[in-house]
Amino acid sequence: MLKLHLDTDIGGDMDDLCALAMVLNWPGADLLGVTTNSDDGGRRAGYARFALDLAGRSDVAVAAGADVAGDYYRVRPGFPAEGDYWPHPIPALPSPHERALDLLQSSIEQGALIAVIGAYTNLALLERRAPGILHRADLYLMGGYIHPTRPGYPPWGNDMDWNIQVDVASAQFVLQRSNPVLVPLTVTVETWLRRAYLPALRQGGPLARLIARQAESFARDEKNEERLGRTCSALPDDIINFQHDPLACAIALGWRDGAEIAEVPLRFEVQDSWLHEIIDPAGRPTRIVSRIDGARFSEFWLGTVAGV
């Protein structure tokens, strides 16, 4: 049984919900706990609690972690219109952030895989509280910008790497004190959630149906089919969103069907308030996902979540 802990900013970009649904349907995976980062009075924790309960997993502990009131973030992370994405108003689940650190520390001490699919703030707070704990943690971090995107995919720059750039101080601190596997933005943009997947999701379980609901709203809000599907030759025309966070969780759980991991020496340097991961022979050896088969993963995600 693979033990997993999820640290997430669920409630913003819908790929966090896509990741949680996949993890809950992953054969042989035991989700020990969920902590939230960039929370806002426990609102994200409330969304996580609702999704877990919807899936019949009231046994999984949830705790609200680093809050936007803590002044950690470059900008205040926001939320889409709740009525468009959720079936009814979801109660917040506030708690002292120390509870989240306790839960995260407990998962590390139990040997769990730690998948971080949001800002790295909770990891930094935990390392400051318990120096050296990240060095022995089995970390998988969604984020990083080591190589540019490949032709045919969005020509995004380093500034689009939300998980790292929204809290640069925590990201640099964590990367210098841990031995993670990075799942870079420039790889995750080769995955997708397509409109063609929605019929299968609507026929799936409660979380799959919730994803289909959110996908319709997300497609209307973000217009990725028009902005990206019709302008990026390597993406499907009907792309609704990327599967950044599901890919990171899948890599943590051992998915390697078309994925490659390389070790690259990196130096982490802040320039003009942005963190740069610079390849440097004298840098810190860091494992990164260097290549994936995005179509294969996207179909794998659909099969896992919708059971097709």
Backbone angles phi, psi at 61, to 5 degrees: -75, 140
Q: What span, in angstroms and rounded, lies between the C-alpha atoms of 26 and 284?
A: 32
Q: What is the pLDDT of residue 1?
A: 87
Class of the CATH-defined domain 2-306: alpha beta
Q: Helix, strand or coil for residue 188?
A: helix
Q: What is the pLDDT of residue 17?
A: 98
Give the Å distances, CA to CA, from 9 to 46, 105, 136, 199.
11, 18, 24, 27
What integer is the mean pLDDT of 119-138? 98
143 φψ region: left (φ > 0), alpha (ψ -120 to 50), beta (else): left
Q: What is the pLDDT of residue 308?
A: 77
- In 70-218, the DSSP E strands lie at 113-117, 138-142, 181-183, 193-194
What integer is the mean pLDDT of 75-97? 95
Q: Quick check: 274 pLDDT over 90?
A: yes
Q: Quick check: 292 pLDDT over 80?
A: yes
Q: What span, in angstroms and rounded, lies between the C-alpha atoms of 287 and 276?
A: 16
Q: What span, in angstroms and rounded, lies between the C-alpha atoms of 114 and 33?
A: 10
Q: What is the pLDDT of residue 127?
A: 98
| Structural domain spans, the chain | 2-306
Q: Quick check: 10 pLDDT over 90?
A: yes
What integer is the mean pLDDT of 162-177? 98
Nearest to 291 by CA among 205, 167, 175, 189: 189
What integer is the mean pLDDT of 197-223? 98
Q: What span, in angstroms and rounded, lies between the C-alpha atoms of 155 and 61?
A: 39
Whether the predicted model's global pTM rises above the 0.85 cut: yes
**Across the strands, what pairs with 271?**
274
Q: What is the pLDDT of residue 78?
A: 86
Q: What is the pLDDT of residue 203?
A: 97
Give the Å distances, CA to CA, from 147 to 143, 190, 235, 307.
12, 13, 19, 34
